[in-house]
């Protein structure tokens, strides 16, 4: 009897070309807000150092934390801002630092919509497609006017222009997690009855115009990605996987370059950054949605959410769940995790406790567990 041994090619450290940009491996740093800009949204030397560490640590493609495209869209303190030309110099320093360290950098452009703390908006009410109460922040936003809608669309285009001028390799539209773009897509947060809400077509219109405004500013050759919810994970209403996939197909037809698959919003039962990732089967919790996207689209698909071990990362690629894998929390703890995986490390040290997300108490986003170990003199 003959024994057939199947050999599956290792893919995690295979190079990958994304819109002409050569990535040395398939590891993406998913957008991660660091509370690392100064109080006015300017890039700081400390932030540049953090990004250089990711580049030197072997991350194939780094996506910045969400950068607000408009002053009405700032959702957490000390975000890197992209809403004025005065930020281009600082952004250029960030892109230059990453490139000098051998990395590639994408600016995530975002607007918080109803998920903005009013104290960051000088006390003004957040804007949203509809005045639907947000239970986590306990605020009811103001419905955005038609004129303001066009202002926000232009703001996304202008932010993309600034990213390109600053030397970034591309932009990612933050279309996930219940922020403004995601709010327009979702039947839960978009209750409009005009040309911007109602059926799927009209709920997609804002994103379509945002995408067109970006392309108008940066041209067809520039890398434009999107992070999208595969589902809003709400008990009643909201985006579901079938609808999300149809939106992804529309974006593909328009010319989007890649899709990162996530899910959930502030008020969802299942949120984007989940805890209790104890076993390999808890990892990659958006893998089924990602597989659905991968099967139905021709553009590259990036899976994010709970990837902690090298084996699961490999499995995502080898078994066709995604073309690239993306991580956030593990890289807060270990910016050089890709190099460690390459050297044979099996699993990230991140405990997925989410203490790093306690933005309001922390001076900057960091791994609180690691900090405690250092404070106790158990690590250096
Ligand atoms: C501190 C922190 C900040 C984050 N900031 C952003 C952000 O600016 N934009 C975004 O799309 N996702 C953001 N996320 C979500 C992550 O990109 C990612 O989708 C999520 O954490 C799941 O991936 P993980 O299990 O590898 O952490 C953030 C997550 C954390 C922990």
Summarize pLDDT for 5-30 with one digit per residue, the tens.
666 788 999 999 999 999 999 999 99
- Mean pLDDT across the stretch 31-37? 98
Quick one: which atom of ligand 1 is closest to the CA of 64? 8
pLDDT band at 379 (very low <50, low <70, confident <90, very high): confident
Summarize pLDDT for 327-345 with one digit per residue, the tens.
999 999 999 999 999 999 9
Rounded distance, CA 54 to CA 22, Å? 17
Q: Is residue 10 part of a domain?
A: no
Residue 151 half-sphere exposure, CB side, CA atoms within 13 Å?
Answer: 11
Calculate the average pLDDT of the chain: 96
Helices 146-165 & 88-100 angle (0-180, nearest 10): 40
Rounded distance, CA 299 to CA 352, Å? 30
Residue nearest to atom 10 of ligand 1 (CA): 31
Pairing of strands 21-23, 16-18: antiparallel
Summarize pLDDT for 203-257 with one digit per residue, the tens.
999 999 999 999 999 999 999 999 999 999 999 889 999 999 999 999 999 999 9
Summarize pLDDT for 350-363 with one digit per residue, the tens.
999 999 999 889 99
Asked whether residue 1 carries a pLDDT value surpassing 60, the answer given is no
Q: Is residue 179 part of a domain?
A: yes
Q: How far is the CA of 226 from the centre of ligand 1 (A)?
A: 14
Residue nearest to atom 1 of ligand 1 (CA): 357
Q: Is 327 in the pocket of ligand 1 (CB under 6 A)?
A: yes
Q: How far is the CA of 30 from the centre of ligand 1 (A)?
A: 6
Summarize pLDDT for 89-139 with one digit per residue, the tens.
999 999 999 999 999 999 999 999 999 998 999 889 999 999 999 999 999
Q: Is 356 in the pocket of ligand 1 (CB under 6 A)?
A: yes
Summarize pLDDT for 86-98 with one digit per residue, the tens.
999 999 999 999 9
Give residue 8's pLDDT. Answer: 75
Q: Is 328 in the pocket of ligand 1 (CB under 6 A)?
A: yes
Asked whether residue 298 carries a pLDDT value surpassing 70, the answer given is yes
Give residue 290's pLDDT. Answer: 98
Q: Is 65 in the pocket of ligand 1 (CB under 6 A)?
A: yes
Give residue 4's pLDDT. Answer: 62
Among 31, 226, 325, 341, name the best residue to mutate to test ligand 1's pocket (greatest count of ligand atoms within 8 A of Cβ). 31
Residue nearest to atom 2 of ligand 1 (CA): 32
Rounded distance, CA 1 to CA 375, Å? 60
Q: How far is the CA of 380 from the centre of ligand 1 (A)?
A: 26
Cβ neighbours around 374 below 10 Å, total: 12
Q: Is residue 9 part of a domain?
A: no
Which residue in 129, 96, 92, 103 sits closest to 114, CA to CA? 129
**Structurally, how many domains does the chain consist of?**
1
Rounded distance, CA 262 to CA 285, Å? 9
pLDDT band at 3 (very low <50, low <70, confident <90, very high): low
Whole domain around residue 200: which residue ranges? 16-375
Ramachandran assignment for 303, one of left (phi > 0), alpha (psi -120 to 50 degrees), beta (any other):
beta
As a whole number of angstroms, the longest Cα–Cα distance in the chain is 76
Q: Is residue 3 part of a domain?
A: no
Q: How far is the CA of 32 from the centre of ligand 1 (A)?
A: 5
Q: Is 365 in the pocket of ligand 1 (CB under 6 A)?
A: yes
Helices 45-56 & 88-100 angle (0-180, nearest 10): 30
Residue with more model confidence, 123 or 141: 141
Asked whether residue 306 carries a pLDDT value surpassing 70, the answer given is yes
Indicate the Cα dihedral angle 10, 13, 15, 18, nearest 10°: 100
Quick one: which atom of ligand 1 is closest to the CA of 326? 26
Q: How far is the CA of 330 from the centre of ligand 1 (A)?
A: 10
Q: Is 286 in the pocket of ligand 1 (CB under 6 A)?
A: no
Q: Is residue 6 part of a domain?
A: no
DSSP letter string, 195-234: TTSSSHHHHHHHHHHHHHHHHHHH-TTSEEEEEEES----
What is the SS3 assignment for 165? helix
Asked whether residue 160 carries a pLDDT value surpassing 90, the answer given is yes
Cβ neighbours around 13 below 10 Å, total: 16
Q: Is residue 316 part of a domain?
A: yes
Summarize pLDDT for 36-93 with one digit per residue, the tens.
999 999 999 999 999 999 999 999 999 999 999 999 999 999 999 999 999 999 999 9
Domain CATH number, residue 139: 3.20.20.70
Q: Is residue 155 part of a domain?
A: yes
Cβ neighbours around 237 below 10 Å, total: 12
Residue 39 half-sphere exposure, CB side, CA atoms within 13 Å?
Answer: 0
Give residue 380's pLDDT. Answer: 60
Q: How far is the CA of 11 from the centre of ligand 1 (A)?
A: 24
Are 65 and 37 within 8 A, CB to CB?
A: no
pTM of the entire predicted model: 0.97
Q: Is 357 in the pocket of ligand 1 (CB under 6 A)?
A: yes
Are 107 and 163 within 8 A, CB to CB?
A: yes
Q: What is the CA radius of gyration of the chain?
A: 20
Print burial letters for 197-224: b (CB count within 10 Å at least 16), e (below 16). beeeebbbbbbbbbbebbbebbeeebbb
pLDDT band at 2 (very low <50, low <70, confident <90, very high): low
> Which residues are identified as catalytic?
179
Print burial letters for 26-59: b (CB count within 10 Å at least 16), e (below 16). bbbbbbbbbbbbeeebbbbeebbebbbbbbebbb
Quick one: which atom of ligand 1 is closest to the CA of 172? 11
Q: Is 172 in the pocket of ligand 1 (CB under 6 A)?
A: no
Rounded distance, CA 12 to CA 196, Å? 41
Residue nearest to atom 21 of ligand 1 (CA): 273
Q: Is residue 5 part of a domain?
A: no
Q: How far is the CA of 221 from the centre of ligand 1 (A)?
A: 27
Residues 6+ apart with CB under 8 A from 132: 114, 140, 141, 188, 189, 191
């Amino acid at each position: 009897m003959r024994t057939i041994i199947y050999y599956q090619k290792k893919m995690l450290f295979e190079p990958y070309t994304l819109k002409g940009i050569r990535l040395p491996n398939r590891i993406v740093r998913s957008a991660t807000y660091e509370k690392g800009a100064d109080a006015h949204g300017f890039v700081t030397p400390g932030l540049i150092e953090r990004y250089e560490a990711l580049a030197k640590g072997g991350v194939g493609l780094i996506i910045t934390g969400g950068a607000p495209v408009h002053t009405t869209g700032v959702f957490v303190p000390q975000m890197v801002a992209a809403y004025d030309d005065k930020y281009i110099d600082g952004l250029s320093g960030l892109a230059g630092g990453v490139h000098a360290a051998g990395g590639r950098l994408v600016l995530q452009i975002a607007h918080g919509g109803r998920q903005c703390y009013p104290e960051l908006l000088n006390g003004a009410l957040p804007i949203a497609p509809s005045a639907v109460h947000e239970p986590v922040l306990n605020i009811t936003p103001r419905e955005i006017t038609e004129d303001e809608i066009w202002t926000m669309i232009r703001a996304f285009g202008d932010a993309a222009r600034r990213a390109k001028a600053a030397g970034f390799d591309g932009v990612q539209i933050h279309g996930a997690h219940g922020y403004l773009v995601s709010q327009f897509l979702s039947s839960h947060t978009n209750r409009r009855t005009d040309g911007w809400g109602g059926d799927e077509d009209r709920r997609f219109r804002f994103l379509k115009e945002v995408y067109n405004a970006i392309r108008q500013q940066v041209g067809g050759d520039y890398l434009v990605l999107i992070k999208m919810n595969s589902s809003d994970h709400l008990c009643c209403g909201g985006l579901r996987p079938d609808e999300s996939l149809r939106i992804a197909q529309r974006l593909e037809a328009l010319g989007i370059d890649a899709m990162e698959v996530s899910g959930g919003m502030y008020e969802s039962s299942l949120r984007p950054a989940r805890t209790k990732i104890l076993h390999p089967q808890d990892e990659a919790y958006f893998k089924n949605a990602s597989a659905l996207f991968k099967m139905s689209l021709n553009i590259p698909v990036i899976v994010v959410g709970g990837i902690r071990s090298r084996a699961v990362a490999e499995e995502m690629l080898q078994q066709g769940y995604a073309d690239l894998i993306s991580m956030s929390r593990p890289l807060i703890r270990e910016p050089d995790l890709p190099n460690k995986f390459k050297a044979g490390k099996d699993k990230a040290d991140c405990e997925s406790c989410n203490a790093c997300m306690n933005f309001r108490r922390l001076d900057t986003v960091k791994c609180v567990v690691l900090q405690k170990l250092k404070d106790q003199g158990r690590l250096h």
